Chain A
């Protein structure tokens, strides 16, 4: 299992932070890792994220389960970038840069050190993006996420639907697991056996009961929210829990702005490209 929706209680900086600056921090890191294609720059961001996790008294191993679950995808992105990444494509035009060919007989798919360096950065980038989501979910209650959406003028009905959807995730996870067990008892071989046609045929065996369960749940949700007065002046709905920006949130927002400006300047002045690590490695070789 990969992603977990649970809050690990704590009194850390990230726990205390309002959901809005926390989301912005999450978005900011996602944007700045796209800026940089150098493993040292991206690695430094990863290190900062790991330190932040430790500061929250949250296990890095527990948070990193999602990265482990995404490792096949990570490896695939890495391999694709080694061969087709812009750094590799550019460097392969100079034959002296080529280390080896992935298909040596035909001299196809040359691999260069520049390609490998950039590929490492892309893998770390993906790991950061996936890891961060789990970290946010570990430190933010769903209700805060919804309140943040409402504060950002997201329509109340959409925010309500999103929050109910979030709360239904564990229910569907249990239902899916039960249905898989039940179908396996009836001889269902799962989604990993047989050829592609068999697997495609096996998917509705799982999805049909889940959809029927979904339809039933939707009707129950509709009745429940109608019973709780849905539709009566939804825009002026109040919440038992209020979120308010405090000094720590404003300071975080200011730091986020500074990080964004500095990263953007670095990006537009040509820093943070794979050439930084590549030149360091070349220097070591010399």
Chain B
């Protein structure tokens, strides 16, 4: 009896972490609004990179503002839209970035799809500290630009000092001042 109560209590604690089926909607939903979000945020990511907007943290190291768009944008566009955002965010730095960005934007899209506020911040931050630098380090090694895995990993980990706070601040401001954004992100 006690263990059932405890497990129910545990379930009650766990349940609010996840969005309900109604809140989530269809995983592959890609209507006109999702196309609009994907196109707008993909175009924005491309434009930010093309303009060279970013935070310089060391000589030669510019933390692209487009990465913040590639993290937050998929919250609006859904999983299919995340592919467009990934492609458009990646293209300005040549074709080798496409396979780096697309899986990452899809991953962030899934986080926003399944998790409620503020858990998506927690999981996104964990993913940015683990999956993001690992994934980039692997591709940097394959292309030979940064031949040492740990150096590539560390250089991408430094980027998280910019991306994690920027992404949290941006989402919180949007949730506060844009009802449309709050309705979509949750």
Residues of A within 8 A of B (CB): 1-5, 26-27, 30, 34, 37, 69-70, 72-73, 75-77, 80-81, 84-86, 122, 125-126, 129-130, 132-133, 155, 157-158, 160-162, 164-173, 175-177, 180, 191-192, 196, 199-201, 203-204, 206-208, 210-212, 214-215, 217-223, 225-226, 230-231
Could you tell me the distance between the alpha carbons of A206 and B39 in the complex, rounded to whole angstroms?
Answer: 19
Could you tell me the distance between the alpha carbons of A211 and B73 in the complex, rounded to whole angstroms?
Answer: 9
CB <8 Å contact, A176 and B42: no
Q: Chain B residues near A4 (CB, 8 Å)?
A: 50
Could you tell me the distance between the alpha carbons of A26 and B177 in the complex, rounded to whole angstroms?
Answer: 44
CB <8 Å contact, B84 and A158: yes
CB <8 Å contact, A225 and B88: no
Known contacts A86-B147, A169-B47; decide if A225 and B35 are in contact (CB<8 Å): yes
Could you tell me the distance between the alpha carbons of A183 and B44 in the complex, rounded to whole angstroms?
Answer: 18
Consensus secondary structure, chain B interface? helix
CB <8 Å contact, A126 and B33: no
CB <8 Å contact, B36 and A220: yes
Residue of A nearest to B48 (CB): A176
**Can you list, as one digit per residue, whether each of B47-86 has a CB less than 8 Å from chain A (1) or not (0)?**
1111111111101111001001100110010001101100
Q: Chain B residues near A212 (CB, 8 Å)?
A: 174, 177-178
Q: Taking the complex as formed, is B95 at the interface, i.e. its CB lies under 8 A from any CB of chain A?
A: yes
Contact of B32 among A2, A171, A175, A225 (CB under 8 A): A225
CB <8 Å contact, B60 and A72: yes
* Distance in Å: Cβ of B61 to nearest Cβ of chain A: 7
Q: Chain B residues near A175 (CB, 8 Å)?
A: 47
* Leading 5 A-B pairs by shortest Cβ distance: A168-B43, A218-B36, A76-B60, A221-B36, A172-B47
Q: Taking the complex as formed, is B103 at the interface, i.e. its CB lies under 8 A from any CB of chain A?
A: no
Q: Chain B residues near A208 (CB, 8 Å)?
A: 170, 173-174, 177
CB <8 Å contact, A165 and B38: yes
Could you tell me the distance between the alpha carbons of A172 and B95 in the complex, rounded to whole angstroms?
Answer: 22
Q: Chain B residues near A223 (CB, 8 Å)?
A: 32
Q: Chain B residues near A225 (CB, 8 Å)?
A: 32, 35-36
CB <8 Å contact, A166 and B43: yes
Q: Taking the complex as formed, is B166 at the interface, i.e. its CB lies under 8 A from any CB of chain A?
A: yes
Q: Chain B residues near A231 (CB, 8 Å)?
A: 31-32
Residue of A nearest to B49 (CB): A3
Contact of A218 among B57, B72, B76 (CB under 8 A): B76
CB <8 Å contact, A1 and B43: no
Residue of B nearest to A163 (CB): B39
Could you tell me the distance between the alpha carbons of A132 and B95 in the complex, rounded to whole angstroms?
Answer: 9
Contact of A165 among B42, B94, B147 (CB under 8 A): B42
* Distance in Å: Cβ of B172 to nearest Cβ of chain A: 9
Contact of A162 among B53, B56, B87 (CB under 8 A): B87
Given contacts A122-B144, A214-B41, A222-B36, could you give 20 more A-B pairs where the C-beta distance is less than 8 Å? A2-B49, A34-B144, A126-B145, A129-B94, A155-B80, A158-B30, A162-B88, A165-B88, A168-B44, A168-B47, A175-B47, A199-B57, A200-B162, A200-B169, A203-B65, A204-B169, A207-B65, A208-B174, A218-B41, A230-B35
CB <8 Å contact, A204 and B173: yes
Known contacts A122-B145, A191-B55, A204-B166; decide if A221 and B61 are in contact (CB<8 Å): no
Known contacts A73-B60, A77-B146, A126-B145; decide if A164 and B166 are in contact (CB<8 Å): no
* Distance in Å: Cβ of B179 to nearest Cβ of chain A: 10
Residue of B nearest to A227 (CB): B32
Known contacts A122-B144, A165-B40, A218-B36; decide if A191 and B60 are in contact (CB<8 Å): no
Contact of B65 among A80, A177, A206 (CB under 8 A): A206
Could you tell me the distance between the alpha carbons of A86 and B146 in the complex, rounded to whole angstroms?
Answer: 10
Q: Taking the complex as formed, is B180 at the interface, i.e. its CB lies under 8 A from any CB of chain A?
A: yes
Q: Chain B residues near A192 (CB, 8 Å)?
A: 56
Known contacts A81-B147, A177-B51, A199-B55; decide if A226 and B76 are in contact (CB<8 Å): no
Q: Chain B residues near A171 (CB, 8 Å)?
A: 43
Known contacts A30-B96, A168-B40, A172-B43; decide if A200 and B147 are in contact (CB<8 Å): no
CB <8 Å contact, B166 and A203: yes
Could you tell me the distance between the alpha carbons of A7 and B145 in the complex, rounded to whole angstroms?
Answer: 30
Known contacts A129-B94, A162-B88, A225-B35; decide if A2 and B50 are in contact (CB<8 Å): yes
